[in-house]
Structure 1
Amino acid sequence: MSPDLALDWRAPHETDVAQTLGVLRRGPGDPTFTRGADGAVWRATLTDDGPATLRLVQRGADVVRVEAWGPGAGSAVALAPSMLGERDDTTGFRTGVEALDAAHRRNPGMRVPRTARVMEALVPAILEQKVITLQAHASWRRLVQRFGTAAPGPVPRPMRVAPSADGWRAVPVWEWHRAGVDPKRAAAVQRAASRAARIEEAADLGHADAAARLALFPGIGPWTAAEVAQRAFGDPDAVSVGDYHLANYVGHALHGRDMTDDEMLAALAPWTGQRYRVIRLMMAAGLRGRPRRGPRMEFVDHRAR
């Protein structure tokens, strides 16, 4: 099935499609994201012109084949370079830490994506608030499968486009409950959906102003805003302050001890402007975090409440 629109894009720098877009995937069962048997990345998205499905194929270190289907194909292809990190220039970037600089040399195509689709990043981030990741991914999967729409094109497995803002607002109370989402998070999603136009405008602001815009809305704190900034805004400095594991991971990776959020920010201060990138490099370098003997977040089944 021929695509409705296609582009052979040459990036201004090395770009690894899988590494760059992997952070957009919400678990292995994400209905909006999959990998084909040939290694192609498939992503379903909702553009201003309607739903679209993208297929992205690595053709070379700096060449990506972009194919799209659906009413939003044109908009999706136009946004693809930004999503692939076109604006994320790391020329001259160094950390001064050999393990991290070595990881950067080994992963020259690892970019920070900018999807410019704020609600698509915000809703799953809200679902991940204060629960374990597997639980949040299961909630996202159920809600998108139930209330999303079929992804256009010859997808390699059944895929769905996430609901529109109106679609999220229309999810009934009992469906949030069945998806394991407590009333607080459900209300946060629906409040955001009611102001979706203002929220989407944040994609066109500078990083600081975009974060400030998100903070105006109830239910969107620093952690959630950072998770959105890392995906929708292409912000290489966004640190997920308040994460259950991150401060201790950074503390052990850098200094071999637990840290509070404030201590983590102090430790990352030498890399202000690139702190999210540095955290990703820590993971790419295989730096170990806190030994797995401490307390873990409890699984809370909100369906039983």
Structure 2
Amino acid sequence: MRVPTPRHESAATRRWRPAGPLDPGLTVGPLRRGPGDPAFRVTPDGSVWRTGRTPAGPGTLRFTRHAGEIEAEAWGPGADWLLDGLPALLGADDDPTAFTPRHRLVHEMHRRTPGLRLTRTGLVLESLIPSILEQKVTSDEAYRAWRLLLQRHGEPAPGPLDGLRVMPDAHGWAMLPSWEWHRAGVDGKRAATIVRAARVARRLEEAAAMDLPAALARLQLIPGIGPWTAAETLQRSNGAPDAITVGDLHVPRIVGYALTGRRGTDDATMLELLAPYAGQRHRACRLILLSGHTPPRRAPRFAPNDIRAL
């Protein structure tokens, strides 16, 4: 039986001074799964709050920037683990000097975002599950599923901020009944992939310490996890600067349009365009996506699928 985590114990604290320019919100932004993510919140005072299911247990981390330093607090059994990982979370392991812009737009975005770093959480499953939920559906559908699953099956996050949730542990994910997936709008294929991943979660978490080729291979041993899902996960868990997303409906088109002005770019052409950024292709893509330089729409958005109506 799961023992509830005490919510209002004293916080552990930490201060950390980044070695160079840092935009904390921009750096950890990819960890937020939609505006209503129960595991991530930005409060009006500028504090970033996030929860984590760490190897030491559930925890909540709050951090903000003040006078050039990052001031952080954490609660729960995972508090010390989260505080120890704060520098990596905010890009201390990232080396932006390894990146050389090769296109005018990329150069301009690199100049305008000196505080962008690639986050590294060190936690695979917490990024893998929402990435699986995002397979072949709209972002809104995936965000809704993540939100409902955490609200119904996560646990209240330790600490003083109401409404935050910690995602279930691997056993909890593996034991979710079929009707709960259906209630959240998750089809059987994605649900089965999450269950398979949860059953071997310990082996998957080892990928956080692997180099990119080995980590990609480890994740793709699970049926239902392909290059797209593996890359989306390792961008966050490992801070991998070359974990390029392929198989996406939008990314090749955006990259192609931004770099050439042409429409209809496919994965193969995108990889050719990004070849000068070998070793840094994810960072190049991140800068391109941040530019907002996207092809004008010619067709209406796809309507969301609602499997609950089937």
Please give the range of the TM-score, normalised by the shorter of the 2 chains.
over 0.9
2:101–2:110: 8 Å Cα contact kept in structure 1?
A: no
**Larger deviation, residues 239-248 vs 89-98:** 89-98
Please say if 1:91 is aligned against 2:97: yes
Q: Percent identity?
A: 49
- Specify which of 47, 52, 56 is matched with residue 63 of structure 2: 56
Displacement of 1:93 in angstroms is 2.8
SS in 2 for 1:91: helix
Q: Identify unmatched segments of 5+ residues in structure 1.
A: none
Please say if 1:31 is aligned against 2:38: yes
Q: What CA distance in whole angstroms lies between the structure 2 residues aligned with 1:10 and 1:16?
A: 13
CA deviation vs aligned residue, 1:48-95 (integer Å, no higher than 9, x gap) = 11111000101245x211210111101111111111111111125321
Partner of 2:4: none
Please say if 1:220 is aligned against 2:230: no
1:255-294 residue pairs with structure 2 within 5 A? 255-257=260-262, 258-286=264-292, 288-294=293-299
1:138-217 residue pairs with structure 2 within 5 A? 138-155=144-161, 157-217=162-222
SS in 1 for 2:96: coil
TM-score (norm 1): 0.95
Displacement of 1:300 in angstroms is 1.0
Q: What CA distance in whole angstroms lies between the structure 2 residues aligned with 1:51 and 1:113?
A: 20
Displacement of 1:11 in angstroms is 1.9
**Larger deviation, residues 85-94 vs 272-281:** 85-94
Number of equivalences: 302
Q: What CA distance in whole angstroms lies between the structure 2 residues aligned with 1:21 and 1:200?
A: 20
Partner of 2:248: 243
Q: Name the amino acid aligned to 1:106.
A: R
SS in 2 for 1:38: coil
1:70-89 residue pairs with structure 2 within 5 A? 70-89=76-95
1:13–1:89: 8 Å Cα contact kept in structure 2?
A: no
1:105-124 residue pairs with structure 2 within 5 A? 105-124=111-130
2:253–2:265: 8 Å Cα contact kept in structure 1?
A: yes
Q: What CA distance in whole angstroms lies between the structure 1 residues aligned with 2:276 and 2:98?
A: 16
Partner of 1:13: 20
Q: What CA distance in whole angstroms lies between the structure 2 residues aligned with 1:95 and 1:292?
A: 28
2:12–2:74: 8 Å Cα contact kept in structure 1?
A: yes
> Where has structure 1 moved over 3 Å in runs of 4 or more?
294-298
Q: Name the amino acid aligned to 2:239.
A: G
Q: What CA distance in whole angstroms lies between the structure 2 residues aligned with 1:198 and 1:285?
A: 37
SS in 2 for 1:134: helix
Q: What CA distance in whole angstroms lies between the structure 2 residues aligned with 1:151 and 1:172?
A: 23
CA deviation vs aligned residue, 1:15-50 (integer Å, no higher than 9, x gap) = 211001111000000000000110010001111111
Partner of 1:46: 53
Tell me how large the CA RMSD over aligned residues is: 1.4
Q: Identify unmatched segments of 5+ residues in structure 2.
A: 1-7
1:16–1:58: 8 Å Cα contact kept in structure 2?
A: no
Q: What CA distance in whole angstroms lies between the structure 1 residues aligned with 2:205 and 2:148?
A: 24
TM-score (norm 2): 0.94
**Larger deviation, residues 239-248 vs 184-193:** 239-248
**Larger deviation, residues 96-105 vs 270-279:** 96-105
